Structure 1
Amino acid sequence: MVNVILAIVLLICLITDIKSRKILNIVTLPTIIFGLFFYFFTTGVDGFLYSGKGLLVGLSLLLIPYLLGGMGAGDVKLMAAIGSLMGSSFVFYSFIYTALIGGAIALILIIKKNGFINIIKSTFFNVVFFRSNLGSMIIAKDKKGSISFPYGVAIVLGTLCTLVWGVF
C-alpha cells in the first residue's frame, strides 16, 4: 500500500514540477502526515519513530542546498515525504541515486548550453595556465547565464531507482 501511495505522489510531483516548476504542498504535506499515522497505527510507537526518522533524514539531506538557494522548498518536502513513507535507509539511498542522476542531467545541460568543444578548451586553458577559477565556467555569476532544471525529476528518478534496484 505504501509503495502505491509513493508511486502516485511521485507521478503527481513529476508532472507538476515539469509543468509549473512547483512541487505542491497539497501533495507533500498530506503524504508526510499519512506516513506518520500509517506506521503509528500499524506498528505503534516504533512505526511512528521509523517514519519520523525517515522524515528527518529526508528533510535534512536537502536542507543545506535549499538554504543556499540551490533548490526549492518543494524538493526538500518531497524528500521528507519519501522518508516518511519509506524510512531513513530508503530515503538516504534514494538521495544518492538522485544526486547521481541530478549531476548527470546538469552535466548534459551544461554541455548542451556551452558546447562540448568549448568546455574542453576552457578546461585545458585553465589547467595549463593554472587558473584557479575552474568553477566559473560551470557556475554562472548572473542568473541570466545560469542553468537550472526542475530537480523533482531527479528526485523521482532516484526514488524509482531505489524502488527497482534497492540499495547498492
Structure 2
Amino acid sequence: MILITILLTTLIISLITDVRKRKILNIVTLPTILVAFLYYSITLGWSGFLYSGKGFLVGLGLLLIPYLLGGMGAGDVKLMAAIGALMGPSFVFYSFIYTALIGGAIALILIIKKHGFINITKSIFFNVVFFRSSLGSMTISKDQNSSISFPYGVAIVLGTLCTLIWGGF
C-alpha cells in the first residue's frame, strides 16, 4: 500500500507540474527512485535491489531513444524510470504500452483539431489512392507554426493509472 501511495503522489505532482510548467521536477522523480531502491533493498535484500534496478532500467530504456531524438523531455524519461523502480519491470512495460496508445490518441486529436478533419481525411485519401510511399509526407503545410506538442507526462500518468487499474494484457 505504501508503494501505491508513493506512486500516486508522484503521478499527481508530476501531472500538475507538467501541465502548468511543462516540466517534471527532479525533486519529485529522484527521491521516488531512491525510496524505491531503499524499500526493495530493505524488504527483499539483494534480490529486491535487483528487482527495482530492472524496473528502473526498463523504464529508462523505453523512453531513452525518443528523448535522444528530441521527442520528449528528460523529466518524462526520469518519471518512467521512477515508475519502473517503484513498481517493477513488467508494470512499467505495461504502463509504457498504455502510455503510447494514450499519447498517440492525444496527438491524433490535437492534429485533427489544429488542421481540421476534412484536410486530414483528404490527405490520407490522396496518399492511399495514389499509392504514395510515405503517409508521413501528407499535404499539410510543414511550417514552424504547424508543429504540435503536448506535455507527455499526461499520457504517462494516464497510462500508469490504466496499468494500476486494469493490469497487463
Tell me whether the two structures share a fold, i.e. TM-score over 0.5. Answer: yes
CA-atom RMSD in angstroms: 1.5
Q: Which amino acid aligns with 1:131?
A: R
- Provide the rounded CA distance (Å) in 2 between the counterparts of 1:51 and 1:101: 25
Where does 1:57-72 land on structure 2 (aligned, <5 Å)?
57-72=58-73
Q: Distance in 2 between matches of 1:105 and 1:155?
A: 12
Q: Which residue of 2 aligns with 1:165?
A: 166
5+ residue gaps in structure 1? Answer: none
- Per the alignment, residue 134 of structure 1 pairs with 135
What are the within-5 Å matches in structure 2 for residues 10-159 of structure 1?
Answer: 10-137=11-138, 141-159=142-160
Which whole-Å deviations, capped at 9, do the CAs of 1:76-105 have from their partners, x for residues lacking one? Answer: 000000000000000000000000000000
CA distance in 2, matches of 1:43, 1:125: 58
Inter-partner Cα distance in structure 1 for 2:139 and 2:6: 38
State the shift of 1:138 in Å.
8.8
TM-score (norm 2): 0.95
Instruction: Note the alpha carbon deviations across 1:27-57, whole angstroms, 9 max, x for none.
Output: 0011111100110011100100000000000
Query: After TM superposition, which residue ranges in structure 1, 4 or more long, deviate above 6 angstroms?
Result: none
Distance 1:152 1:83 in 2: 15
Q: Name stretches of at least 5 consecutive residues in structure 2 with no aligned partner.
A: none
The answer to whether the 8 Å contact 1:110/1:138 transfers is: no
Shift of 1:127: 2.0
> Would the aligned equivalents of 1:65 and 1:71 in 2 still touch at CA under 8 Å?
yes
Matched residues, number:
168
Whole-Å separation in 2 of the counterparts to 1:90 and 1:126: 38
Code of the residue aligned with 1:159 in structure 2: it is T
- AA paired with 1:61? L
SS in 1 for 2:137: helix
Q: Is residue 58–residue 84 contact of structure 2 (8 Å, CA) maintained in 1?
A: yes
Distance, in Å, in 1 between the alignment partners of 2:139 and 2:161 is 28
CA distance in 2, matches of 1:143, 1:87: 40
Query: In structure 2, what is the Cα distance between the partners aligned to 1:138 and 1:16?
Result: 35
For 2:140 and 2:134, how far apart are their aligned partners in 1? 10
Scaled by the length of structure 1, the TM-score of the pair is: 0.95
Following TM superposition, by how much is the alpha carbon of 1:129 offset from its aligned partner in structure 2, in angstroms? 2.4
CA distance, structure 2, for counterparts of residue 59 and residue 167 of structure 1: 19
CA distance in 1, matches of 2:50, 2:92: 15
Distance in 2 of aligned mates of 1:68 and 1:148: 15
Counterpart residue type for residue 40 of structure 2: Y
CA distance in 2 between counterparts of 1:50 and 1:112 reads 42
